[in-house]
């Protein structure tokens, strides 16, 4: 290497890594890798998330990040984490339980950073394509495991359900999101008379639905998918098209019902589970949830303003457990399987207000047109309604689906809103 004007020459590779654009590309790669591994691994999600955040550091624009953090869509998720952290001060749980209960909210701190980054990146769509492709690869694997359970990495009883990794709730969330999200590009392609690409994406969407109907059925997905489709119809379609889609969906549902014993069995368990719980107090899936919700409402009534503190839920259920083992009333859990009640028990009305403010602000963020708005809106809608039956903001897999989906789509949307990106106020 030779010197020029008394200064040592810099290798081209060194100059490359001194460019902010190069580091933006590195962050993009880690975000894409995170999207790829999300359906398959827990530990790799953590590894790539940490690597992604570390790659943001060298050329972080502190002033721009500060302006981004001041926006309500960024500040409220941070506020929910801060509330979880401060809530440890009035909890009666052991300190280990308090600290452990803070960690599920920590992933929300990544949301503002994703907003900040994908306002500047041009690869947000690549992240969504990576997630879609990864879920698509899971479809044949799920069918293979259904016929050959020995291929699964899960215990034999769970492998028989067609689950290769994770669990049926996580897999159904992924498949439902992908199946409905594809409706937007399919409609756009049909409007542009690009029939073959539309048919290809339609077949992919149907493959997700078929896997949920014939291999593994989630009752949460059965409830939320029609809601997600209704949101799509109301936002993007005319009433005549909605009517046609409704008829087509009814035909698909009828075919799936008549030809899928798994689907019939799952739906039939709704009534039988409730009857066994109401008559015998049996510990059925529905009965347990009803018991958790009833007790959680009582806990909330005891401390309605700021709750019982972070990590207090399990201790409260231990004190409220009654009856012999095997009954729903005797179950002790640390998660009431409802996001609102999970927050209300620990942080009271204050926590519920912050949670609902976050959902509302993120819904309003995606009120425009375009694929980024559609994906972001769908992620938020799915999370809101599935959180009626689970604590999906705090669950690892669904929580990261929310953070990644809303964060990437939100950054893409904010890129087109200069006033929100810079913090300036535009006068009319």
Q: Is residue 15 part of a domain?
A: no
Contact between residue 44 and residue 37 where contact means Cβ atoms under 8 Å apart:
yes
Q: What is the pLDDT of residue 128?
A: 95
The number of residues making up the chain comes to: 428
**Where does residue 7 rank: exposed (0-12), middle (13-18), buried (19+ CB within 10 A)?**
exposed
**How many domains, the chain?**
1
Supply the angle between the helices 72-86 and 110-118 in degrees, to the nearest 10: 160
The answer to whether 252 touches 259, Cβ cutoff 8 Å, is: no
* 171: in domain: yes
Given a contact cutoff of 8 angstroms between Cβ atoms, the answer to whether 352 and 389 are in contact is no
Residue 363 lies in a domain: yes
| Parallel, antiparallel or unpaired: strands 7-8 and 3-4 | antiparallel
For the chain, the C-alpha Rg in angstroms (whole number) is 24
Look at residue 260 in the predicted model and tell me its pLDDT.
Answer: 56
* Closest C-alpha to 27, from 110, 109, 118, 111: 118
The helix/strand/coil state of 282 is strand
3-state secondary structure at position 416? coil
pLDDT for res 428: 30
Q: What is the separation of C-alpha 17 from the centre of its chain, rounded to a whole number of angstroms?
A: 33
Alpha-carbon dihedral 131, 137, 140, 142, rounded to 10 degrees:
-50
Q: Look at residues 31, 74, 37, 69 and name the one whose alpha carbon lies nearest to residue 53.
A: 31
Contact 39, 166 (CB under 8 A): yes
Rounded CA-CA distance 305/345 in Å is: 10
Question: By three-state DSSP, how is residue 303 classified?
Answer: coil
Q: What residues contact residue 274 under an 8 Å CB cut-off, 6+ apart?
A: 284, 286, 287, 290
Tell me, yes or no, whether 289 lies in a domain.
no
pLDDT at 107: 94
SS3 content of the chain, % helix, strand, coil (to 5): 75, 0, 25
Q: How many angstroms separate the CA atoms of 313 and 297, rounded? A: 12
Return the SS3 of 369.
coil
Q: What angle do CA 151, 154, 158 make, to 5 degrees?
A: 100
What's the CA angle centered on 162, arms 159 and 168, to 5 degrees? 90
Q: Is residue 238 part of a domain?
A: yes
On whether residue 46 sits in a domain, the answer given is: yes
Per-residue model confidence as pLDDT tens for the chain (428 residues): 455 455 555 555 555 456 767 778 889 999 999 999 999 988 999 999 999 999 988 878 888 888 889 899 999 999 999 999 999 999 888 999 999 999 999 999 999 999 999 998 888 999 999 999 999 999 998 888 878 777 777 766 655 567 777 777 888 889 989 998 998 888 888 888 889 999 999 999 989 988 887 777 677 777 788 788 777 777 766 666 656 666 666 666 666 556 556 555 555 565 555 555 554 555 556 667 777 888 889 999 999 999 999 999 888 888 877 665 556 566 667 788 889 999 999 999 999 999 999 999 999 999 887 889 989 999 999 999 888 888 889 999 999 999 999 999 999 999 866 554 444 433 33
- Token look-up 């199946």 returns 179
Asked whether residue 423 is assigned to any structural domain, the reply reads no
- pLDDT for res 71: 92
At residue 248, the pLDDT reads 65
Q: What count of other Cβ atoms lies within 10 Å of the Cβ of residue 60? A: 14
pLDDT for residue 421: 45
Phi, psi of 41, rounded to the nearest 5 degrees = -140, 150
In which domain, by residue range, is 164 found?
Answer: 21-274+329-417
Retrieve residue 345's tokens: 């028990």
Q: Is 69 part of any domain?
A: yes
pLDDT at 104: 92
């Amino acid at each position: 290497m030779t010197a020029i004007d008394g200064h040592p020459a810099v290798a081209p590779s060194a100059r490359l890594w001194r460019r902010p654009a190069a580091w933006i590309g590195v962050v993009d790669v880690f975000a894409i890798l995170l999207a790829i591994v999300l359906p398959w691994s827990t530990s790799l999600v953590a590894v790539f998330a940490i690597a992604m955040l570390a790659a943001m550091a060298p050329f972080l624009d502190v002033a721009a990040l500060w302006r981004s953090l001041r926006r309500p869509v960024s500040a409220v998720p941070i506020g929910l984490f801060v509330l979880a952290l401060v809530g440890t001060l009035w909890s009666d749980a052991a300190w280990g339980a308090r600290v452990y209960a803070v960690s599920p909210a920590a992933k929300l701190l990544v949301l503002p950073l994703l907003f900040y980054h994908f306002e500047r990146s041009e690869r947000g769509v690549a992240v969504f394509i990576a997630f879609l492709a990864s879920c698509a690869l899971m479809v044949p694997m799920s069918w293979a495991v259904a016929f050959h359970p020995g291929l699964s990495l899960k215990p034999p009883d769970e492998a028989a359900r067609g689950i290769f990794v994770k669990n049926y709730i996580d897999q159904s969330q992924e498949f439902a999101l992908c199946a409905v999200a594809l409706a937007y590009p399919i409609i756009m392609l049909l409007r542009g008379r690009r029939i073959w690409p539309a048919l290809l994406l339609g077949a992919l969407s149907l493959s997700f639905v078929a896997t949920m109907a014939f291999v593994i059925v989630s009752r949460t997905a059965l409830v939320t998918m029609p809601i997600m489709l209704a949101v799509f119809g109301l936002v993007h379609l005319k009433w005549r098209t909605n009517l046609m889609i409704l008829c087509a969906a009814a035909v698909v549902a009828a075919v799936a019902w008549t030809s899928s014993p798994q689907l019939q069995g799952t739906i039939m368990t709704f009534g039988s589970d409730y009857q066994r719980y109401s008559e015998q107090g049996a510990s059925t899936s529905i009965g347990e949830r009803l018991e958790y919700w009833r007790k959680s409402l009582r806990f909330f009534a005891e401390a309605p303003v700021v709750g019982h503190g972070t990590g207090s839920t399990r201790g409260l259920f231990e004190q409220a457990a009654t009856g012999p083992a095997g009954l729903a009333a005797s179950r002790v859990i640390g998660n009431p399987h409802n996001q609102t009640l999970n927050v209300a028990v620990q942080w009271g009305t204050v926590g519920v207000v912050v949670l609902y403010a976050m959902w509302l602000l993120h819904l309003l963020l995606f009120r425009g047109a375009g694929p980024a708005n559609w994906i972001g809106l769908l992620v938020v809608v799915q999370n809101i309604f599935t959180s009626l039956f689970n604590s999906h903001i705090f669950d690892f897999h669904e929580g990261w689906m929310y953070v990644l989906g809303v964060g990437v789509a939100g950054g893409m949307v904010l890129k087109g809103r200069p006033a929100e990106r810079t913090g300036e106020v535009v006068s009319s």
